[in-house]
A and B are shown apart, each in its own frame.
Chain A
Amino acid sequence: MSLLQIENLSLSIHGADILKKVSLSINPGQIVAVTGESGSGKSMTALAVMKLLPSGAQAQGAIRLEGQDLLTRPEAKMCALRGAAIGMVFQEPMTALNPVKTIGDQVMETILIHKAMPPPQALARAQEVLTRVGLPPDRFPLSRYPHELSGGQRQRVVIAMAIALRPKLLIADEPTTALDVTTQAQILDLLKGLVREYGMGLLMITHDLAVVADMADQIAVMRRGEVVESGATAHLLRNMRHPYTRMLFEASGHQVSLPDAADPRPLLEVTQVTRDYRLPRKGLFGTPGHHRAVDGVSFTLNRGERLGLVGESGCGKSTLTRAILGLKEVQSGEIRLDGQPVFSGHRPNPAVRRKMQVVFQDPYGSFNPRHRVARLITEPFHLLDTPPTGSERQDRIAEMLTAVGLSPDDAGKYIHEFSGGQRQRIAIARALIIRPELILFDEAVSALDVSVRAQILDLLAELCAAYDLTYLFISHDLSVVRTITDRVMVMQAGRIVEQGETEQVFSDPQHPYTRTLIEAAPVLPEIGTHVA
């Protein structure tokens, strides 16, 4: 008998169909990955197993845990099951823990709420599981609060809470999506180890096909609430039947071909740039310490070149980006664009500022929802001395919207009428409209689904050919940087530890940190040769 058996599960929320006849099963000690793009219903499937669905949800079909149907189980009995027989780990470790309770209290709560053991033993068990997930109490006392831990450490606490009572089934919903690659590798290792050690079944929800291929025994691919294809991982990867599965894998490993870069003439010159942040004082009269976010960084970006910047969170990528944009002053060193300094005195230099634009990560938060697209994409015009007006302005808007694959008619619409991918196209149109010399892409495709990401990468390649773009592409996603840049820089703890031709750096990394990063990144299996 399987541990978990989902049969013909259909779900509607306020009448809208979310899941349609989903079936899958998990055996003890088995890892089953549910994958698909956003809105495919993979998280809802997980929440349905926990019966933690949003209000207004109606489920049909059957979910059986060791033969017992969960859908008909009353709420009080579900409470007894959650945390004890089924544990769950969520995506966002930064917000998944209660900020006003210590980690010890939160792990012990799982044990005490089920009255599984008296408090002294619960404490011992909490210490034991925290040690097991890599947070030994001598280095991470139980009295720590969540804000005193990093994202990866918090995710370990969440996992400790979920496994404190050795559940038979563990559900992990995008457990590593918010984490850096090296941390992701550690957490995935931990989960694999726990499955082996405790013989748990693991239902893993993830959009990352490289992670799926690496971890799972079984895969279920979902699209619009349906399982379109499922099977044993190795078999499924060799014989993909459904076109959607193939499309997903192809889009994940999508390659673009960039046009050749022009003759190297320096555009952006960064020389020995250093930026410190003040830390809070240690004592009342102590001198405040400093954190060096960017430490003696020098590089040159040539005209027509596509340069990548990779590194993990906190490495100084964002600070460097802001310094280049003239949003943050630097303590020492110099940043010049086209020979002119970004900062003149203590003020950003407007002559330089109008030659740069930026595209941010979040296509939802970076637009004013009350303005129409025409106004949104013409925002950079305020940097110009004589902004185009009248028909010239209309022509520019139409040209840009066409260039990014939208229609000139979209100018009159509001931003909420567009999908995430379309919004990112509008963000690119906004950046391009004043024909900047340099564009910074700050994690610009990280929030997008793989199929949309592939389209945006294609768009960038087309725009490179049409407009001779020069850009700095900042990302934590190595596979994207590998295809969309000519040269790459690797940043660690404020320093550029390695830079060179992208292909060269990826195929023959010199610095140990670069090697660690590349090794930690899960690799998509070679599927191209097997696809019919």
Chain B
Amino acid sequence: MLRYALKRLISLLISLAVASVVIFAVIEVAPGDPASFMLGVNAQEDTLAALRAELGLDVSKAQRYFNWVGGMLVGDFGTSYTYRTPVSQMIADRLWVSLPLALYALTLSTLIAFPAGIYAAARRGKPGDLTVMGATQLGIAVPNFWFAMMLVLIFAINLRWFNAGGFAGWDQGLWTGLHSLTLPAIALALPQAAILARVMRSSLLDILGEDFMRTARAKGLSRRQALWRHGVRNALIPVLTIIGLQFSFLLAGSIIIEQVFYLPGLGRLVFQAISARDLIVVESVVMLLVFAVITVNFLVDLAYAAVDPRLRSRT
């Protein structure tokens, strides 16, 4: 198990190093000089040169890459070209919204999807299964911003249980913070839950057809006991993969939902930074997201091994 984890860890570090080079290269070759963009078309050549020096753009590309990576390792992400504030501070503020939102949505999605998927699989072809499948079809087809608007209409405007948008901040207390993230989390979770429930159902149906399920029934387990004791854990592997992918998506892909609920999240930050040619912010956020995705994959790999003993010994 330890060797398996170590191997995964080494592959994680290599992926990170490769990703950092790729991100740096892609963003550097993109046209547009941040200094001239910031100062406008009429800027003097010597002012531009001074700004480039200040932004650290006047050294060689390799030097700039190492400055960037070296800075990130000690938590220094550089200074935003447009806002003139430390990027690390900007990201940290946004991360305190986006990360809890992603985790909240993922928890909701899992809590909805697991029972729904298992219920549908256990009643394959019966009305209960068809209902769940119909609902998930709808959940996948309808875009999440539409859910978001409906939630606002019902729970914020009509029932007045929640605020229609904005984030109160964690300094108001955990409950207040969670309260203002609830509607966006539900809007994000519903389509994800629909996908996850379908994966859970089909994975479990595959497992229900396995020989060892019949063995379990021959031992005297009821259908339900066999499903829970032998089916669910075996069905988890594909489900874990999807959960990992969904977390990565939720962390950065919630830009529309952030816009609908007026949340100061990472998605909006990236959007603004790209519009403003604030390359250092874009680079840093992208790198952070890559880091998150690779780390989540690492955790998913460890979860595989925890679920399936065959992976532990194969290494």
Contact = CB atoms under 8 A, between A and B. Distances in A.
Contacts of B217: 50, 52, 82
B308 A100 contact: yes
A473 B225 CA distance: 47
Interface string B174-215: 000000000000000000000000000000000000111011
B30 to A, nearest CB: 41
Nearest to A93: B211
Interface stretch (A84-92, A291-299, A344-352, A458-466): A84-92
A84 B217 CA distance: 12
B286 to A, nearest CB: 33
Contacts of A162: 218
Q: How many A residues touch the partner, as a band?
A: 20 to 34
Given A96-B212, A100-B308, A147 B218 contact: no
Contacts of A96: 211-212, 214-215
B218 A52 contact: yes
A98 B216 CA distance: 9
Given A81-B220, A110-B219, A113-B220, A284 B6 contact: yes
Contact of B219 (A75, A95, A109): A109
A83 interface: yes
Contact of A90 (B215, B225, B315): B215
A320 interface: no
Category for how many chain B residues contact A: 20 to 34
A76 interface: yes
A50 B219 CA distance: 10
Q: Which of A79, A84, A90, A95: most chain B Cβ within 10 A?
A: A79
Contacts of B308: 99-100
A113 B212 contact: no
B218 A82 contact: yes
A377 to B, nearest CB: 33
Contacts of B150: none
B108 to A, nearest CB: 27
B148 to A, nearest CB: 39
A99 B211 contact: no
A97 interface: yes
Given A145-B309, A145-B310, A280-B315, A161 B220 contact: no
Contacts of A196: none
Contacts of B94: none
B276 interface: no
A79 B221 contact: yes
B242 interface: no
A80 interface: yes
Nearest to A144: B309
A69 interface: no
A4 to B, nearest CB: 16
A114 B218 CA distance: 12
B16 to A, nearest CB: 21
A17 interface: no
Contacts of A75: 222
Interface string B274-315: 000000000000000000000000000000000111100111
A13 to B, nearest CB: 15
A99 B219 contact: no
Interface string B85-102: 000000000000000000
Interface of B: 3, 6, 210-212, 214-222, 225, 229-230, 233-234, 307-310, 313-315
Given A100-B308, A109-B221, 10 more contacts: A83-B218, A83-B220, A87-B218, A95-B210, A97-B212, A99-B234, A100-B233, A109-B219, A158-B215, A162-B218
18 contacts: A50-B217, A75-B222, A76-B222, A79-B220, A79-B221, A81-B220, A88-B215, A90-B214, A95-B212, A96-B215, A97-B212, A100-B309, A109-B221, A113-B219, A113-B220, A145-B309, A147-B313, A161-B219
